[in-house]
A and B are shown apart, each in its own frame.
Chain A
């Protein structure tokens, strides 16, 4: 198997502030990785670092064999990294269709496939991004990443703040994307149970360091580790 993402002794943060400290991991192509941890431990920073939004102080990070350290953000996207940010960052004055079109590439998912994955989005294709509900915006954010043709999809808390029925819809969609093959996924999520069931591998961050790394199924069964690293509240809440 080829390595999709590799981080080696990565130290990164925002300006002088270090958030990720000595983080190393590898993820093989086509696998899904759940990144878990309490608030403020560096989960989103890891994705931001993969996208080039942070300052890398030390270490190496690469995707599909290409070093990312000095690569501009828009080149990373063209290299096949798709990013669904926590805030969704839909362009409010552009219609749903325009939001997709500005990101579309020849090698990306056809718009019809995105609307097939999210039929509701297809019905609201002419609505402005700002008028969509939170769930619709999240579907649009995922669709916008897919039309760019990602080989690596980074998802930052896609279920956050959404109603249970929407969470279920998104869960099914992400499972389809995973099962379709060809896309490696890194999923940052507070809903630990959901993230673990969607992924094959998991890492848990604590104070910017990797405190646990192993198969998702194993962590899902290990109540004591989950309680220790994620906090009982977080897991119970997810349940």
Chain B
């Protein structure tokens, strides 16, 4: 075979096979260990896990399928309001509320996706922005139901599975959120390794080629957009159920920007990038806000700039480098 090497466009690596297996244990063991070791910070931990799920949902849409969106918070907020309203008016069973909110956000994603995914680039970005603004404005106008600017309060959740009360210290909320995150993560992991998931990667890289091999590109994009919306809705519902309040901020552009920042910080198309980004973001935000409550965004901004300028694959790039170095050292140390 000729020695010539490809000049094909280089693309950031997707999650590598070696990340499977033992690699899975580390983040989940750490998350579980935090429950026992960080008992005083379970509220913060729950927020981080919700942010992980939210960022994960964006990773499916933006990272894998390449759908540029600036209105992803619409689904997070919609799920939050759906769960809150469900708890107040229908049933306060957390699992039922979570499923209803997930379905509601997924349906919103499907309806809006079918309308806007014919477009691309800046037009698509503007349309996602407009959808976010529309949903926020609707929530603001339906003051009688949503509380408008004052937010939705009075959410009382029944014990989880009829046995575990949502206590003040956040034990139940943390484990509940962790379990839901694990379920969604496993599903996302499976989907992204299926031919459907790989076709999303193909769509992001070359839409024309995917059409030429018979892929119904538009439907695949609508499907992943709806899936991402449902997942964001779950994150919003968890937020409403664990904090027992929903505000308009959940729907605002800032929330969409924040989750985008988290994903870029962690690294796109990695799934675990959402983990790294969300944990670092929430922790840095918390500590920086304690040091200076007015200028903490400066620290986040500087961190983001550093990551974008120096780490092509986000924080996951550091983990990749460390893992590669460790493997190399291991090989050197191991006698042949």
Contacts and interface: CB of A to CB of B under 8 A. Distances in A.
A92 B9 CA distance: 7
Contacts of B211: 72-74, 77
A148 B199 CA distance: 14
B122 to A, nearest CB: 21
Contacts of B201: 91, 93-94, 98
B208 interface: yes
Contact of A74 (B4, B10, B216): B216
Given A73-B211, A148-B213, A166-B1, A93 B205 contact: yes
Contact of A77 (B4, B11, B199, B212): B212
Contacts of A133: 1-6
B202 interface: yes
B213 A102 contact: yes
A74 B5 CA distance: 30
A102 B8 contact: no
Interface stretch (A1-9, A12-20, A134-142, A179-187): A134-142
Interface of A: 51, 53, 72-75, 77-78, 83, 85, 88-94, 98, 101-105, 120, 128-137, 144-145, 148, 162-163, 165-166
Interface in B129-177: none
B195 A134 contact: no
Contact of A78 (B2, B11, B214): B214
Given A102-B195, A135-B1, A163-B4, A92 B11 contact: yes
B6 A130 contact: yes
Contact of A92 (B4, B8, B210, B214): B8
Contacts of B14: 93-94
A166 B3 CA distance: 11
Interface of B: 1-6, 8-14, 195, 198-199, 201-202, 205-206, 208-217
B198 A94 contact: yes
15 contacts: A77-B213, A85-B212, A102-B195, A102-B199, A102-B215, A104-B195, A128-B13, A131-B5, A133-B1, A134-B2, A134-B6, A136-B1, A145-B213, A162-B2, A163-B2
A73 B11 contact: no
A137 B214 contact: no
A184 to B, nearest CB: 17
Contacts of A120: 1
A51 B208 CA distance: 10
Q: Give 9 closest A-B pairs by Cβ, nearest first.
A: A77-B214, A163-B2, A103-B213, A73-B211, A93-B11, A89-B209, A92-B8, A130-B8, A102-B199
A92 B212 contact: no
Most B-side CB within 10 Å, residue of A73, A133, A145: A73
Contact of A166 (B2, B12, B213, B216): B2
Given A93-B12, A94-B201, A166-B1, A83 B6 contact: no
A135 B2 contact: yes
A74 B198 contact: no
A14 B11 CA distance: 29
Contacts of A101: 195, 198
B202 to A, nearest CB: 5
Contacts of B202: 91, 94, 102
Nearest to B269: A93
Contacts of B213: 77, 83, 102-103, 144-145, 148
A74 B12 contact: no
Given A102-B198, A133-B1, A134-B2, A93 B13 contact: yes
Given A90-B8, A92-B10, A102-B202, A85 B209 contact: yes
Most A-side CB within 10 Å, residue of B10, B202, B216, B217: B202
Contacts of B10: 92, 130
B6 to A, nearest CB: 6
